[in-house]
Amino acid sequence: MPFGRVQHIDVAQGPIERQFGVARLILHTAGTRSSAVGLPGLDTGEAGRIRDVIRSRIRQDLV
């Protein structure tokens, strides 16, 4: 997925994920079908780091 299509990024955890220290990184794009792509099972800190890297890249592409 091109960075330019990403509209929103979430790091989510359900109760079981929280218990095991993992999270899901979810990329939301424009559109109605398959507009969210999830990457489950990431270490919570790593999910946040990846989110920040993608946000930084999107900002660079917008400039």
Are residues 57 and 49 in contact, defined by beta-carbon separation less than 8 angstroms? Answer: no
Tens-place pLDDT, residues 31-50: 767 788 899 999 999 999 99
Local confidence band at 62 (pLDDT 50, 70, 90 cut-offs): low
Q: Which of 47, 42, 58, 53 is nearest to 6 (CA)?
A: 58
pLDDT at 9 over 90: yes
Q: Is the pTM of this model over 0.75?
A: yes
pLDDT at position 58: 82
Give the pairing type, strands 6-12 and 36-43. Answer: unpaired
